[in-house]
Amino acid sequence: MEFFLQVFVSGLLTGLMYSLVAIGFVLIYKASGVFNFAQGSMVLAAALTFVSFHEMGLGFAVSIVLTLVVMVLLGILVERVALRHLVNASLITLFMATVGLASIVEGLAQFVWGGEVHGLDLGIPDDALAIMGSFTVSTFDLFAAGIAAVLVTGLALFFNKTRTGLYLRSIADSPVAALSVGVPMSRMLAVVWATAGIVALVAGMLWGARLGVQFTLSVVALKALPVFVLGGFTSITGAIIGGLLIGAVQNLGEIYIGSIIGWGLQNWIPYAFALLVLLIRPSGLFGEKTVVRV
């Protein structure tokens, strides 16, 4: 029982780490209907920028603020340079633009900061905290879960309590109507990309501390993809619940099914699970139900 709990809970907490990346996907998808292929690269770029500022001898807080500024500028730049010129382009064109963006951001980040592996120490110990008997929880995982909670609360307040948040929700609902009542569309797009950049920074710091800041960091996006799909594309709650589920399924599958059919399941089980759920709920767990009056 304790062993089961151990596997289950550590799975949940790993899943939350995926959620952090998936939330970035959700933000952009909601605002523009596009899957942002570059989210993983943004995570890498944010982590790399932070580490490099920090290694230059700047303080922790200063580095965070500077990286935040860089990510916000990146968001504005993406809107100015690319999206503004693609206003009426089809979704596949926009998607291809994000694929290109992924290469540019990743290449640029490594060009500026170099390609070697950096360690990132957030000063959070990764100790096993004994809960009961042999059941332990990693303090770092708990910290990450706390950060995720703060981030989600912050985003919820931003979307529901501010004027900009209302603009963003109106654009997600009906871009044409938003345009017709004078919502500043291009500015809002920049805001969304900047927000996705901030989320990428949070994810980048936590993942960077976990895996080290290196090229492969952008690959966590592939882990977050089934979370995003499972959660239903447009819901931040969905991204969180999806992450928890995927994390738990991945861990439990690896331990309990892996012992029967062979190891190495954790790479494909999340996708298989997402696929299975989609067969039953095509719009994902928290996918937007179309409001239709009959």
Element (H, E) at 34: none
Burial 181-214 (b: 16+ CB within 10 A, else e): eebebeebbbbbbbbbbbbbbbbbbbbbbbeebb
> Is residue 37 exposed (0-12), middle (13-18) or buried (19+ Cβ within 10 Å)?
buried
Are 141 and 128 contacting, i.e. CB atoms less than 8 angstroms apart?
A: no
H helices within the chain, ranges in order? 2-32, 39-55, 60-81, 91-113, 139-161, 163-173, 175-180, 185-211, 220-231, 236-252, 258-261, 269-280
Q: Is 282 in the site for another protein (CB under 8 A)?
A: no
* Contact mark string toward another protein, 172..191, x via CB under 8 A: xxxxxxxxxxxxxx------
Smallest separation, CB 76 to another protein (Å): 17
Interface with another protein, residue 156, by CB under 8 A: no
Whether 250 and 266 have beta carbons less than 8 Å apart is answered as yes
Closest approach, Cβ 184 to another protein, in A, equals: 5
3-class state of residue 294 by DSSP = coil
Stretch that binds another protein, among 21-29, 72-80, 97-105, 170-178 (CB under 8 A): 170-178
Read off the tokens for 274.
């997402």
Region from 3-11, 71-79, 165-173, 213-221 binding another protein, contact rule CB under 8 A = 165-173
Q: 132 or 176, CB closer to another protein?
A: 176
State yes or no: residue 163 binds another protein (CB under 8 A). yes
Site size for another protein (CB under 8 A): 25
Task: Determine which residue in the list 5, 76, 95, 169 makes contact with another protein, applying CB under 8 A.
Answer: 169
From the list 35, 37, 159, 167, which residue makes contact with another protein (rule: CB under 8 A)? Answer: 167
Kindly state whether residue 288 participates in binding another protein, applying the rule CB under 8 A.
Answer: yes
> Of the two residues 170 and 237, which places its CB atom closer to another protein in the complex?
170
31 forms part of the interface with another protein (CB under 8 A): no
By CB under 8 A, what part of segment 57-116 binds another protein?
A: 87-88
Q: Which residues bind another protein (CB under 8 A)?
A: 87-88, 163, 166-167, 169-170, 172-185, 288, 291-293
